[in-house]
Amino acid sequence: MSDGSTLTERKVMVIGLDGATFDLISPWIADGTMPTLQRLMKKGASGVLTTTLPPISSSAWVSFATGKNPGKHGLVDFVHPRQDSYQISIVGAQQRASKAIWNLLSDVGRKVGIVGMPVTYPPEEVNGYMISDFLTPTASDDYTYPLSLREELDGAVGGFPLLPDERYRSTKFVDKFIADMVTDVERRLDGALYLLDNKDWDFFFLLFWSSDMLQHETWRLLDRSHPQHDPEAAERYRDLVADFHRRLDEAVGRLTEELGPEDLVVVMSDHGFGPVHSFFLVNNWLREIGLLKLKRRPLTRLKYGLFKLGFTPLGVFRLVKALRLGFLRRRFRFQRGGGLMKRLFLSFADVDWARTKAFAVGSFGQIYINLKGKRPQGIVGPGEEYEKLREEIAARAEEIRDPRTGERVVERVYRREEIYSGPLLEKAPDLVLQSRNWEYMAFGHADFGASHVVEPIFGMSGHHRPHGIVMLAGEGIRQGVRLERANIIDLAPTILYAMGLPIPSDMDGRVLTEAFNPEFRSRVQVEFSDEPSQRPTGEGEYSADDEEEIRERLRGLGYVG
């Protein structure tokens, strides 16, 4: 390349390794288990990638795609409470209030291929193609744009997997579970290579989701300090976990072979990972301190009685597992909303909203205030009453102690304006309780999950952290440079800059200029465009059945209690 104009020929490939963290993979990068990442770090710029708070995949990936914080794009989690009822809603692509990088590139005639990006169902019309993500309902066959791409992939590579096969998750068949994660990597790679070889593209994105699933499941094997650490199991399966990462690295290597020397590759994660030791039942706590009230009707009293005896989703899961009723466990997990057992669990249907001031939805301690004028049975006045309530909750949250250790459960309380800004701030949780060392996972929205405020973790051993990874390599990128303050919102503007395109001035992120060499920086100027990149939003298109199915899937993945 001799000047900026030739950047129109440049391809950019972004490979997402969901949840990848240097805390886990640094030794494998160093010892050659992951040689592709080692090479990318040597010949490119890399570092820790700070993500959105709280570190939730949906919110983080949309922040990547838009270059904006969730207060602007509006996606704060996989689930959120509706404003017109107390129902929990699943997020959909229509709720994204901002153009994503694939829209911006399509607008200027660049060809895009977007594969597996979270919150892209239903798929959007782009200049190129799109395959949706694991939020696609099982019964749907409209998860590709163009529609014909699904059949084309079925014929060419035996179909594209939207979700890894997770049948052995949380079972004793750890080896089979890991084998399924490897299979997912290979099938995704096959699909991606077919697309790269057969379709025009200037910008390509592919997400490997199995890395996130694997870490949720196997963190205890690698972490000797984890309460569920079993040295025997660790001995037996540790090499398989390392082997998964070796295969993942090989897949990244194979994909980068599709690039020329002038192109740019970005390898990144949407958040880090670390141990999770306990569940934190936020709604139980809100009930105990009198901010959430149950109905006084007989049915709710009966359900509350059962609840106190341990008849809760977590209690039943434990029992089913202890009795080795694997078949029942599956049925229990996947049954639709109307099952008898479910109707006997204490749920949001038992909450007396007209006497409730605050409730929690989400797996990161997100608390919503039952605000008058905003929610159907809101009772908290805006202004002073609202602020005082937030102060009260924040102060009391810091007093919560883990009954087993006497230690604090909540390390920090965020008011929403501390972590979000923009026109969609109103949709965001009013408070976010960050647990101590991130070692507690909030559990239970409509189900109340279990009967105590703190319970030992069950069914997973790792959870998200705010620090992911990023690596950039290609022409114009400095070699062997360590990025010290990269944020996930910086990547969209950085990629546009690397492609010689202007950056919408309403993006929150900045160009990571420190990643580029002086020659590139003097040749290509950072330019901004004043064309607004916000867009109107619509409601989700999921049917009630689809919503219930996806909610169950998210529950299984640990995103919904």
Interface residues toward Zn ion, by CB under 5 A: 18-19, 57, 212, 270
The least distance separating Zn ion from the CB of residue 38, rounded to whole angstroms, comes to 23
Tokens 């014909």 appear where? 148
Whichever of 58 and 284 has its CB closer to Zn ion, that residue is 58
Whichever of 11 and 271 has its CB closer to Zn ion, that residue is 271
Distances (CA, A) of 208 to 267, 311, 510: 11, 37, 26
Upper half-sphere CA count for residue 212 (Cβ side, 13 Å): 26
Contact 72, 423 (CB under 8 A): yes
The least distance separating Zn ion from the CB of residue 527, rounded to whole angstroms, comes to 32
The least distance separating Zn ion from the CB of residue 400, rounded to whole angstroms, comes to 27
Write the secondary structure of 285-339 as one string of H (helix), E (strand) and C (coil).
HHHHCCCCCECCCHHHHHHHHHHHCCCCHHHHHHHHHHCCCHHHHHHHHHCCCCC
Contact 502, 526 (CB under 8 A): no
Upper half-sphere CA count for residue 268 (Cβ side, 13 Å): 31
The least distance separating Zn ion from the CB of residue 526, rounded to whole angstroms, comes to 29
Largest Cα–Cα distance in the chain? 78
The least distance separating Zn ion from the CB of residue 17, rounded to whole angstroms, comes to 9
Whichever of 212 and 439 has its CB closer to Zn ion, that residue is 212
The least distance separating Zn ion from the CB of residue 127, rounded to whole angstroms, comes to 27
Residue 8: both structure tokens together: 């129109």
The least distance separating Zn ion from the CB of residue 222, rounded to whole angstroms, comes to 18
Whichever of 255 and 557 has its CB closer to Zn ion, that residue is 557
Query: Which residues are bridge partners to 214 per DSSP?
Result: none
Query: How far apart are alpha carbons 301 and 519 in whole angstroms?
Result: 72
Bridging pattern class, strands 272-275 and 264-268 = unpaired
Whichever of 320 and 488 has its CB closer to Zn ion, that residue is 488
Specify the 3-state DSSP secondary structure of 378.
coil
The least distance separating Zn ion from the CB of residue 471, rounded to whole angstroms, comes to 17
**List of residues 6+ apart from 309 with CB closer than 8 A:** none
Contact 28, 242 (CB under 8 A): yes
Whichever of 34 and 49 has its CB closer to Zn ion, that residue is 49
Residue 540: both structure tokens together: 């989700």
First to last CA, the chain: 52
Whichever of 252 and 524 has its CB closer to Zn ion, that residue is 252
The least distance separating Zn ion from the CB of residue 273, rounded to whole angstroms, comes to 9
Whichever of 19 and 92 has its CB closer to Zn ion, that residue is 19
Whichever of 180 and 270 has its CB closer to Zn ion, that residue is 270
Whichever of 18 and 402 has its CB closer to Zn ion, that residue is 18
Tokens 């089913």 appear where? 320
Report the chain's C-alpha Rg in angstroms.
23
Q: Compute how many other C-beta atoms are within 10 angstroms of the C-beta atom of residue 242.
A: 17
Contact 245, 36 (CB under 8 A): no
The least distance separating Zn ion from the CB of residue 135, rounded to whole angstroms, comes to 13
Q: Closest CB to Zn ion belongs to which residue?
A: 57
Whichever of 19 and 493 has its CB closer to Zn ion, that residue is 19
Coarse DSSP helix, strand, coil percentages of the chain, rounded to the nearest 5 percent: 40, 20, 40
Query: How far apart are alpha carbons 233 and 157 in whole angstroms?
Result: 35
Query: How far apart are alpha carbons 557 and 434 in whole angstroms?
Result: 20
The least distance separating Zn ion from the CB of residue 216, rounded to whole angstroms, comes to 10
